[in-house]
Each structure stands twice: as structure tokens, then as C-alpha cells.
Amino acid sequence: MTAPDELSPILDELMEFEPLFHRTRVAMSRDEFDAVVDPEFREIGASGARYTRDYVQSVVETRRLRGEANDAA
């Protein structure tokens, strides 16, 4: 993916966050999620499915409570 030079730092930061929910050692806590995910967050998956922030937060919370690692890399 490319971007104008002045937007490159922003693109780099966004790309670092892409695997946030899928490739962390252990699912993040609710406080950690709240600290890094905007209240207006929405996701469109590769399948075209739409996910709300609340839905993603509930999945991450369930994984954390189960002690699941997220290594879908």
C-alpha cells in the first residue's frame, strides 16, 4: 500500500494496528481495548461482514477470559 510522503507515518501506524485483534500474545483487557480503539470504530471483514466496536470488544473479552492467545498470523 502506498500513500503520499506526508501521510506515510500515519499509514505505517495504521498498518501496525491491523493485526491488533488477531495476533497478540493474549487477548487485551477491556481497559486496553478502550485505550486504543475509537468509540466510533467499525470493521468490515474480508468476507464483507460488518462488525461493531461492541461486537469486537465482546469477542476480545471472551478470548481474554478463556486465556486464548490470538495467533491467527
Q: Where are the beta strands (DSSP E) in 1-73?
A: 42-44, 50-52
Residue partners of 70: CB distance under 8 A and separation at least 6: 21, 22, 23, 24, 25, 26, 27, 63
Q: Domain spans of the chain? A: 5-66
pLDDT at 73: 41
pLDDT at 25: 57
pLDDT at 53: 93
* pLDDT string in tens for the chain (73-residue length): 566 888 888 877 776 766 666 555 556 778 888 888 899 999 888 788 999 999 988 988 887 788 776 554 4
